[in-house]
Chains A and B, each alone.
Chain A
Amino acid sequence: MREMIVSELNQALHELARGFAHFLPRLIVMLILALVGWAIAYFVKVVLRSVLRLIKFDKLSENAGASQLLSKAALPSATEVLSRFVFWVAWLGVILLGVSVLGILGLQEQVAKFFLFLPRLFVAMFIMFFGLLAASFFSRAALLAAVNANVPSPRVLSLAVRSIIIVFVLSVVFEELGLAEQTMLVAFGIAFGALMLGLAIAFGMGGRDLARRFLEKKIVRDKKEENEDELSPL
């Protein structure tokens, strides 16, 4: 009995040693890949950072309003964030390639999923960035138009334009990422509906006096200005 146990234990240890000997080269390959991956990712990060600085990406990001969001979140500049993000994605990608070399069943499928997800992630980031850029541009355009037309509360109008565009962009981003599509669809519907309802109530109830004053001012001014000479700037 004792001999049998010793024999089984020896066999198990033997197999473990053989398995480890079989696994060790793969592990070393994976570690080498991770090391090489780090070097590649670091190189990509340095090159990308230089290119982004060259094209004044921080300025573009500032115009998009992304820089303000980053500074509020105590994050570094947009150039730094993007280059670090690309570094981690590249390194993680190479590490996962190395992991797939290990031949662990089930893990390979997850690695494949990760690589399929990457293009969608980049598209979502692209949409997010240009969405923020569009939100910033159109909200500023609305603000300037409202100020020059002497419309009351121009900043509220500008904020409303920005909010609507950002809500819309976020819904597209989440849909692109495939994250809780149904939930996002419903959430978008609720948020958009609530915004419109809120505006309707605000104008109808809360802004009753404001609307009255605005109309009075508009009508009275128009009547009054009929009797005033107008100046031509040119």
Chain B
Amino acid sequence: MAEESFLTDDFLRQLMNVGEVDILVGLPTHNNAKTVGSIVHTIQTGILRGFPRARAVIINADGGSRDGTPELVTGVSIDDARPASNLYALRTLHSISTKYANSSQPSNKVAFRTILAAAELLRAKACVVMSPESANVEPEWLSKLLGPIYHDDFDLVTPTYSRHKFEGLLITNLLYPMTRALYGVRIRETYSPEFGFSGRLGTQFLGQNIWTDATNGTGVELRFTLAAITGKFRICQSFLGEKIQIERRSADLVPALRQTVGALFSALEPDFPVWSVVAGSEPTLTNEADHGVLLEPLRINRKRLREMFSTGVAELESVFQSILSPATLAELQQIARLRDEDFRYPAELWVRTVYEFAASYQKSVISRDHIIQALAPLFRGKALTFLTENRNASAEEIENNIEGLCREFERLKPYLLQIWKSSE
């Protein structure tokens, strides 16, 4: 209960008024006034439909919104949801909002810690975190993310989505294959804004020292998933349907790399005893479809991706000399000089690049943030290759290609162990 200390007195008072709950819905927000009202309405409908007998609470951890987001969360009445769904809750559904400390900078880490602390204090059995930035949240998502925990005693439910074949390239080309190869568990979305978890997993994660470590500030969601894997908790996946985000963030590659790849690389050091002995990978139980692929044509600026890759390889040579082996760097320089039509970033070279980045991150050969930033132009090269190779590919062909990349990551895992141990 040491976590109480960072919660405000007012928030603690509100939590005490609620008492114990069965279900907790966490909603981290920051200036989401446009969407948060409908999201809360959907959450309420989802609880009414899926868990009418459960004691439930919505906890809004707000990062200092100036557009009235917290007021909108607490202002949405359960009565608005009842007539539409023609359902009635047998228990009170509470909505509590708190502005976490140091709210000048919204932080997923602090928001998530607030939600976990509230879940522990309220002894919640099943919890779910919902994103206010998903444009198409359905009431059924609550049942899909909470049901396996509430009814079947699972500890973590990660979502799978229907995505366009070229969306989420960082996940399909790095996060999924690498976590699968290293940790031996096939989880499609290790970094997701929506996921369900049990109270015991939340309490276990709350006790980890990640909260006091300044270097692990970003990517807390991914660290949470990895903690569930390393802690041998029961994990499953639920298919939620199409994922539509309110804001497309193609330009935000570096922050995305920090949140995901940075978090993964920083977890590798403490998790070394776990992942170093894992061989191969096991599928994760998935409710409904594993995932979906949308194939509509997209207009993408391939020339720009190519240009940014070549410029990056040429201009960052001095940085890459600190991170990559001479052989890998030479091969990168070679493919950077290829003609546009011949350009291809081979899977093996990509895997070696990523593994060498991970080992250099562990050794801190230069600033760790600089290592993550330096990966951005190379990822663009890999993304371009993926786009080119899968331009006319069917859903099945794309899945085969991703599977091939995953196997390459698994095949070259001994190389990572070799360069990792050489640095110790």
Contact = CB atoms under 8 A, between A and B. Distances in A.
B224 interface: no
Contacts of B257: 233
Nearest to B167: A232
Contact of B315 (A147, A224, A229): A147
A137 B367 CA distance: 8
Contacts of B60: none
Interface stretch (B101-109, B229-237, B248-256): B248-256
Contact of B300 (A137, A150, A231, A234): A231
Interface residues of B, number: 40
B307 A150 contact: yes
A140 B366 contact: yes
Contacts of A221: 304
Q: Is the interface of A mostly helix, strand, loop or mixed?
A: helix
B315 A232 contact: no
B64 interface: no
B171 A148 contact: no
Given A233-B168, A234-B168, A228 B253 contact: no
Contacts of A224: 301
A146 B167 CA distance: 25
Given A143-B319, A148-B254, A233-B250, A228 B169 contact: no
A229 B297 CA distance: 10
Contact of A232 (B248, B301, B312): B248
Contacts of B308: 147-148, 150
A230 B260 CA distance: 20
A225 B367 contact: no
A141 interface: yes
Interface of B: 166-171, 191, 245, 248-254, 256-257, 259-260, 298-301, 304, 307-308, 311-312, 315-316, 319, 366-367, 370, 373-374, 376-377, 379, 383
Given A233-B171, A233-B249, A234-B191, 13 more contacts: A137-B367, A140-B370, A143-B319, A145-B373, A147-B308, A147-B376, A154-B315, A221-B304, A224-B301, A225-B301, A228-B300, A231-B300, A234-B170
25 contacts: A63-B366, A140-B319, A140-B370, A141-B370, A143-B315, A143-B319, A144-B373, A147-B316, A148-B253, A148-B254, A148-B373, A148-B376, A150-B307, A154-B311, A229-B298, A230-B250, A230-B251, A231-B248, A232-B249, A233-B169, A233-B249, A233-B257, A233-B379, A234-B171, A234-B260
